[in-house]
Structure 1
Amino acid sequence: MMTQTQVGTELKKIDPITVQVVLGALENVAIEMGHKLARMSYSSIIRESEDFGCALVDINGQQLCESSHSTPLQSGPIPGYVKGIQQIMEERKDTFQPGDVIMHNSPYHGASHGPDVGFCIPVFYQDKLIGFSVTTAHHLDIGASTPGSCGIVDAVDAYAEGLQFKAIKVYDRGIKNRYVWDILMDNIRAPKLVVGDMEAQIAAARIGAQRYIEIIEKYGIETVEEAAEELMNYSEKMMRDAINKLPDGEYSAEGFLDGYLDSDDPSKKDLKIAVTVKVNGSELTVDLTGTSPQVSDRPINMPLVGTVDIAIYLTLRSILLDSTKYGNFPQNSGLTRPINIVAPKGTMCNPIFPAPTIARFNSGNIVADTLMKALAQVVPHQISAGVGNLQVVAFSGKTEDENYWVYMDIMEGSYGGRYGKDGMDAVDTLYANTRNNPIEDIESHYPLRVNRYELRDHDSAPGKWRGGIGSVREVTFLSDGSFSVEADGHKFAPWGFDHGKSGSVGGLSISDEETGEIVKLPSKLPNRTVSSGSTIQLVGPCGGGYGDPFERNPEKVLSDYFDGYITKEKALSDYGVVITNDETIDYNKTDALRKNN
């Protein structure tokens, strides 16, 4: 059976087998780019945590494929990077040329935030621009006022967040612009590490461009373009069909961010994210009207393109097109065509330059979490209860020869309970999706010792399906240094659903080796110097419970007790399960207690 797609004014035909062959070829390019970038990189945030993205994009800014093993917060924004680059190039009356390599990190022109630097290579075939090969990655330092590229929670504007690169040609027609590279080496802490990672990005993007041309040469430019459009139409149809199953109407929810809990300014804390989902046939609008105004002198704001849109697209795709039901299907820009986003200017979800945005990570997770809360009203079996947010820590110090070392650690959160399943413990949530960095890697590369890394005791949120459990990590400095923290969820607990209980908040504290004094710290902490022997403790939030706890299988409650997730007292009070002194279930008393509840 033949499928059809419109190309120009001529109706072309392409068979579905060819479409799938081209899809496999494109996807393999992105996967190869990702594997090679990870292998060539120096820093653990790229090499181990896989905080990077790779994609091919057509000349209209539509994403053709993405590296499946990278984080959505890196691969997803790549079309925005390309459109931002195109906008700036047009304004400058500049043009793309063979051999160009363009560096870009402007959060007001599509980039996710400043440390996520993109390298874009225009791809030419027979002297015609046909698309772009792009890599993005988070870099450990970008030249901000304090060490590291996370935990910069006190930047007063975009200029204080570090170096800004707006469509800068680091290679012009194949010739290296050495002066730009000199600026990088002179203004970035740990320059060999960071610049080495950037060079790895360029090499991976060049591989992508080469492979893209090989596909064109094998199948022909028209066939590839027709197949790509057919794939996007297919993905669009999948999303439209899923939206069409939802009842028309409006569904609203609110979520809250800690903000700056230690601030005397009420406009900097208890910040609201408002979401209204409007369903109209196969079109869906996410309206963020009612969200708190931007915080003009703190970097908790989110770029609309690059962060907010990705949080929304990823959540809708995950919930409405769950891969366990729909299987593997093309990840491309067709998925976003039926989705509209409304975000008033001057709010946290659509700030006005130069409002700072570097610490937008946790804020975007609350956008995704609140969107899921709104969708719970129409697809209750497809969402989880409230999600425990993440904590990002920048550790830094100086070596004996006064050179900087910088390490970035993403402390995972947890998911809420789901229909039919307990919440996932100690994982990166929603659009983050980075991997855990092994303790062995940390201790072999940095003057840090991880003393404790384990799940929280007795803190899982009660529900028919319990909430996921956050982790506890204690890290000791083996030399003098500093750290900064970008976190949230220390005041507002993850929400429970359908009679499930709320989860538990996170925490941050530091203890001094000499005095033993333990000091509790806020969720957002600017760079703080510490002496050798000081220990910080990070406690991740626990996700909310799903469903009535008194409906949980008593055997699972007993298992939770044995695993240390709950105490015997909580089994009784939260679940109505009586555990005897010999650690068995008294079914008669349990049944009686539950009936009287």
Structure 2
Amino acid sequence: MSVANGVTNEIDPVTASVIQGSLQNIAIEMGFKLMRMSYSSIIRESEDFGAAVLDHEGNQIAESTQSTPLQSGPIPGYVRNALANLAERGQEVEPGDVIMHNDPYGGGSHGPDVAFIVPVFVEDALVGFTATTAHHLDIGALTPGSAGIVDAIDAYAEGLQFKAIKVYAAGRKNEDVWQLLRDNVRAPKMVVGDMEAQIAACRIGAQRLLDLIGEYGLATVQAANNAVMDYAERLMRQAIKDLPDGVYSAETMIDGYLDDPSDARKNLPIKATITVSGDELTVDLTGTARQVDDRPINMPFEGTTDVAIWLTIRSVLLDTAVHGYIPQNTGITRPIHIVAPKGCLANPEFPAPTIARLGAGNQLCDTVMQALGRARPEQVSAGIGHLKVIAFSGLQDGEHWVHMEIFEGSYGGRYGMDGMDAVDTLFANTRNNPIEDIETHLPLRVRRYELRENVNGAGKWRGGFGSVREFEFLSDGGGSVEGEGHRFRPWGFLGGQEGQPAALKTVRASGEAFDLPSKVPYQPMSAGDRFVAVGPSGGGYGPPLERDPADVLDDVLDELIDVSTAEETYGVSIRDGQVDLSATESLRQRLRAGAGGSAS
């Protein structure tokens, strides 16, 4: 049974499940259509997009499973705030409308993540929405690209702002808006092409939703939507209820701007205090650093902070590997409450810039993960190694080319499993670009791509290894970098060792090299110049001396660690490609006793 708008609608669980499956398939189809129609690799290869189906109130009822949580998660906020903007201006939503919205202080994740929203009508009644979001490779900011804009001083320096703009009004294209867009972004063919792909995907989803309503009837579909949202809410409430009541806290740090003379811009704390009471949970971010007024690492509360928290709690408490398929909709967030003091890094005040909020947001996920580990140690990973984003750009035949490379991080060790090597982490969850794709379409060459050997967070279950990737410019251009994790190591858990930080340098064609901090404003690059990115390694879980010697041997044979590390860190003696069990037992006894140093 479901209650919608005060009306009780009976629906059997089988029908509700079938309709939910159909809605899920609509969102997935929207996502695949967007990927196939897009021009940029950030959507086509990295899958930095979102697609969702929503009800008439803006509640998310299904999302594309192949998209990133940082894109699909904020979609309800985009829709609610776009509708509020229209209402304030006295505008109504009409059939044939397409609404563009990217306001980071109005539900948007950050400016480059532009949403397109299509309202769905049955006769004259608004019955739902389909929406897509995607990261666009230029949004008219102060330097090329939409990543690495790390020196923006306010929201106006971050690019174009669209607050519920009807790019199609009642079916009629607003040509002036599209011309304004083309005139103010670099690489307009690519950016506009990606936006048109988003709209086409939304329209496909809208038609599929109408087909579904035509098959089952509006009342039945609405009853199913409410029933499935209530089901997701019950699952989350039960998962929270299974936690011991109590207060669980953690505090971690982000680099900020390590080369900045001001202490207000670097070494910034993020604090999360989780209070579990019955079947509800509150995350309080009091103690988190104050917002940075003139640097864009602040996190929009709605669109980044809330999504980071929801994603982490859902991943830990309702792990798909344990619970199977869980409907991802608005119902799952109802038992979770968030407190973030106004003016802090996680709830900034306009016009504080936000475009480079990725590292802080991912660290917020990591902090909530650590706090949850106090209550559920067997369901969390140790500290993650941060990804970074490098924006490459240049001119070719008088036209801009722009490329955004997501350089992956790594996961910490988990109970019973090692951390994953060289992957994007937590709420970003995107993919890197294949080398073949980069070198086919861009004046770049990837000279090296390999795992970072002999450097990770040791543990009973080790942290994941980071990677090393070297990019060479084949023609003059430029680049900027948005990253984190150069100073603070990923945390070890329950006796595991800390992971290793990231690094970055430029190497000029002459061979001269320069070490760089985690955030680098745009700098010109000449043909032959290189970026060398060194990825971080995740933290270890459990004491290294409890690691299975066979797993240590595997890492040695895979050339991830050497024999000396096996002995000094894990207390495992390897001779002629085999574990010497007797020598290992003696070595571990000596290490535990403190002779020769301790590895735990």
Q: Supply the AA of the counterpart residue of 1:537.
A: V
Q: Which residue of 2 aligns with 1:530?
A: 525
CA contact (8 A) 1:123 1:133 kept: yes
Matched, 1:274 2:268: no
Query: Aligned match of 1:188 in 168, 185, 189?
Result: 185
TM-score by length of 1: 0.98
CA contact (8 A) 1:450 1:476 kept: yes
State the shift of 1:93 in Å: 1.4
Q: Which residue of 2 aligns with 1:460?
A: 456
Matched, 1:80 2:77: yes
Matched, 1:203 2:203: no
User: Superposition pairs for residues 2-41 of structure 1, below 5 Å?
Assistant: 4-41=1-38
User: Superposition pairs for residues 97-108 of structure 1, below 5 Å?
Assistant: 97-108=94-105
Q: Which residue of 1 aligns with 2:306?
A: 309
Q: Which residue of 1 aligns with 2:106?
A: 109
**Structure 2, gaps ≥5 residues long:** 593-600
Matched, 1:410 2:406: yes
CA distance, structure 2, for counterparts of residue 326 and residue 583 of structure 1 = 40
* Number of aligned positions between the proteins: 591
Q: Which residue of 1 aligns with 2:433?
A: 437
Question: Which deviates further from its counterpart, 212-221 or 9-18?
Answer: 9-18
CA contact (8 A) 1:81 1:118 kept: yes
Q: Deviations over 1:416-452 (max 9, x none)?
A: 0000000000011001111221000000000000000
CA distance, structure 1, for counterparts of residue 45 and residue 519 of structure 2 = 25
CA distance, structure 2, for counterparts of residue 159 and residue 59 of structure 1 = 32
Query: Aligned match of 1:482 in 471, 478, 484?
Result: 478
Query: Aligned match of 1:576 in 571, 579, 582?
Result: 571
SS of residue matched to 1:135: strand
TM-score by length of 2: 0.98
User: Superposition pairs for residues 270-419 of structure 1, below 5 Å?
Assistant: 270-400=267-397, 402-419=398-415
State the shift of 1:513 in Å: 1.1
Matched, 1:559 2:537: no
**Structure 1, gaps ≥5 residues long:** none
Q: Supply the AA of the counterpart residue of 2:505.
A: S
CA distance, structure 1, for counterparts of residue 359 and residue 336 of structure 2 = 23
Matched, 1:591 2:588: no
CA distance, structure 2, for counterparts of residue 457 and residue 139 of structure 1 = 34
Q: Detail structure 1 runs of 4+ shifted over 4 Å in the superposition.
A: none
Query: Aligned match of 2:47 in 50, 70, 75?
Result: 50
Q: Which residue of 1 aligns with 2:498?
A: 502
CA distance, structure 2, for counterparts of residue 433 and residue 288 of structure 1 = 23
Q: Which residue of 2 aligns with 1:548?
A: 543
Structure 1 residues 35 and 575, CA, compared in 2 at 3 Å: closer, same or farther?
A: same
Q: Which residue of 1 aligns with 2:598?
A: none
CA distance, structure 2, for counterparts of residue 445 and residue 81 of structure 1 = 33
CA contact (8 A) 1:460 1:566 kept: no
User: Superposition pairs for residues 190-269 of structure 1, below 5 Å?
Assistant: 190-269=187-266
CA distance, structure 2, for counterparts of residue 535 and residue 199 of structure 1 = 34
SS of residue matched to 1:14: coil
Query: Aligned match of 1:121 in 96, 118, 122?
Result: 118
State the shift of 1:564 in Å: 2.0
CA distance, structure 1, for counterparts of residue 319 and residue 554 of structure 2 = 29
State the shift of 1:9 in Å: 4.2
State the shift of 1:86 in Å: 1.3
State the shift of 1:280 in Å: 0.4
CA contact (8 A) 1:88 1:167 kept: yes
User: Superposition pairs for residues 64-79 of structure 1, below 5 Å?
Assistant: 64-79=61-76
SS of residue matched to 1:324: helix
CA distance, structure 2, for counterparts of residue 270 and residue 9 of structure 1 = 50
Q: Supply the AA of the counterpart residue of 1:111.
A: G
State the shift of 1:10 in Å: 4.0
CA distance, structure 1, for counterparts of residue 560 and residue 7 of structure 2 = 63
CA contact (8 A) 1:460 1:565 kept: no
SS of residue matched to 2:62: strand
Q: Supply the AA of the counterpart residue of 2:539.
A: G
SS of residue matched to 2:464: coil
Query: Aligned match of 2:465 in 458, 466, 469?
Result: 469
CA distance, structure 1, for counterparts of residue 111 and residue 8 of structure 2 = 43
Structure 1 residues 134 and 8, CA, compared in 2 at 3 Å: closer, same or farther?
A: closer
Q: Which residue of 1 aligns with 2:597?
A: none
CA distance, structure 2, for counterparts of residue 126 and residue 329 of structure 1 = 33
Q: Deviations over 1:539-592 (max 9, x none)?
A: 110000000110111111111112222222211111111223x34322222112
Q: Supply the AA of the counterpart residue of 1:313.
A: W
